Amino acid sequence: MKKYVQTMQYMEEIITNSNNYTIVITGLGGQGLIRFLQIIGNSLIQKGYKVISSEKHGLSQRGGKVTCFLRFGEKITAPVPIIGSADMIIAAEKACIFDVLEFTKRDRSSKLIIADYEKESQNNDYPSEEYFIKVLNENSDHINFVPVMPIVAQYKNLKIINTIILGYILRFLPLSEEEIKKSINRYFKKDLIVLNQKALEEGIKLK
Partner 1 sequence: MEDIKIVKGQVGEELFLLGNAAIVRGALESGINVYTYYPGTPSSEVGEIFTKIFKNVGINWVESSINEKVALEVAGAAYARGAKAMVGMKNVGLNVASDPFFALATTRPKNENSAIVVLVADDPQQYSSAVEMDSRYYLKLLKIPALEPSNPQECLEYTKCAFEISRELKIPVIIRLVTMVAHARSNVKLGKLVPPKLDKTFDLSPEVNVASRLYFLDLKQDQIYNRMNRALVKSENSSLNWIENENATNIFSLGIITSGVSYNYVIEALDFLDLKAPILKLGFINPLPEKKIVAFLKQFKQVFVVEENDAYIETEVLAIAHKNRVQTKILGKDPFSYSKEGSLLNFVGELNPTKVAFALIKITDLTPKINLKQNKEKKYETVRRRPVLCAGCPYATIGYALKKAIKKLKSDSGKEIYFYQDIGCYTLLSFAPYSFANVKYCMGSSIALAQGVARTDDSLNIAIIGDGTFFHSGIPALLNGIYNKTPILVMILDNGWIGMTGQQPHPGSDTHHYQDGNFKKKINLEKFLLGTGANISVIKRQERIKGNYPDRLRDLIYEKSYDVLEKRDLHIIVIEDECIQKFNQRNTLEVRYIDERLCNNCGLCYNQFNCPALNEKNDKAYINLNDCLGCGICEEICPNNAIYGGDNNEF
Residue 7 or 77 having the CB closest to partner 1: 77
Residue 22 or 144 having the CB closest to partner 1: 22
Minimum distance from residue 121 beta carbon to partner 1 (Å): 4
Minimum distance from residue 10 beta carbon to partner 1 (Å): 22
Residue 81 or 203 having the CB closest to partner 1: 81
Minimum distance from residue 120 beta carbon to partner 1 (Å): 6
What is the phi/psi pair of residue 80, to 5°? -125, 135
Residue 7 or 54 having the CB closest to partner 1: 54
Nearest CA among 37, 39, 86, 75 for reference residue 57: 37
Residue 6 or 154 having the CB closest to partner 1: 154
Minimum distance from residue 80 beta carbon to partner 1 (Å): 5
Residues that bind partner 1 (CB under 8 A): 19, 28, 37-38, 41-42, 45, 50-59, 61-65, 76-85, 95-96, 98-99, 101-106, 120-123, 125-127, 131, 135, 139, 158, 186-187
Minimum distance from residue 207 beta carbon to partner 1 (Å): 26
